[in-house]
Structure 1
Amino acid sequence: MSYAGYHFEVFGKVQGVFFRKYTVKEAQSLDLVGWVRNTDAGTVEGDAQGRPEKLAEFKEFLTKRGSPQSHIERCKFNNEFSGHKHLDYDTFEQRS
């Protein structure tokens, strides 16, 4: 199996609205691995890895849905890769 991944940063009203909790739940439902955390800049960032089609669904969540009380202005993706044979994480977790 071939895996892909990316780093993401979400801008807008994404802290104090359970964004990280919903992000973990969504990632786990898509069988993705990685992490998510708040930044000092008021954004939420993380890494996501897994099957390419599931990562595409996760991008939709990060750019358009988020948590019910969040307001996403934009989401930046970088360090994208594909074709890897292994994953760097075992689970998807919330970090401090």
Structure 2
Amino acid sequence: MVEEEQPISVDYEVFGKVQGVFFRKYTQAEGNRLGLVGWVRNTDAGTVTGQLQGPSEKVREMQVWLQKKGSPKSRITKVQFQNERRLPKLEHSTFSICK
């Protein structure tokens, strides 16, 4: 029997043209496609922040997506990841868009 990997959590902030271009909606859709949970929201500083939780392999895929793809009309200039940690269990049940 294969033991299931402990999930990880990582916080992120995306810089560039990421507001007003459906970035949060696409981020939620990609997170759901990968089976991740967490959240995404706009900031007053014009960035998008959030948290990803799930298997490390899927979180890594999402990190690449945040750095290189985003929404079709977005222009990503930089992404910062921080507070990576292992979790005994997921802290969220869905991938939500925060207002």
1:87 aligns with 2:82: no
Larger Rg: 2
Equivalence for 1:71? 75
**Secondary structure at 1:77 match in 2:** strand
**Secondary structure at 2:85 match in 1:** strand
**Secondary structure at 2:91 match in 1:** coil
Shift of 1:5: 1.2
Q: TM-score, normalised by structure 2?
A: 0.94
- Number of aligned pairs? 95
In 2, the alpha carbon distance for the partners of 1:21 and 1:72 equals 15
What percent identity do the matched residue pairs reach? 52
Task: Tell me the alpha carbon deviations over residues 30-71 of structure 1, each in whole angstroms, 9 at most, x when there is no partner.
Answer: 010000000000000001100000000000110000000000
Name the Cα RMSD after superposition.
Answer: 0.6
| Deviant stretches of 4+, over 3 Å | none
Shift of 1:27: 0.2
Shift of 1:85: 2.2
Consecutive unaligned residues in structure 2, runs of 5 or more: none
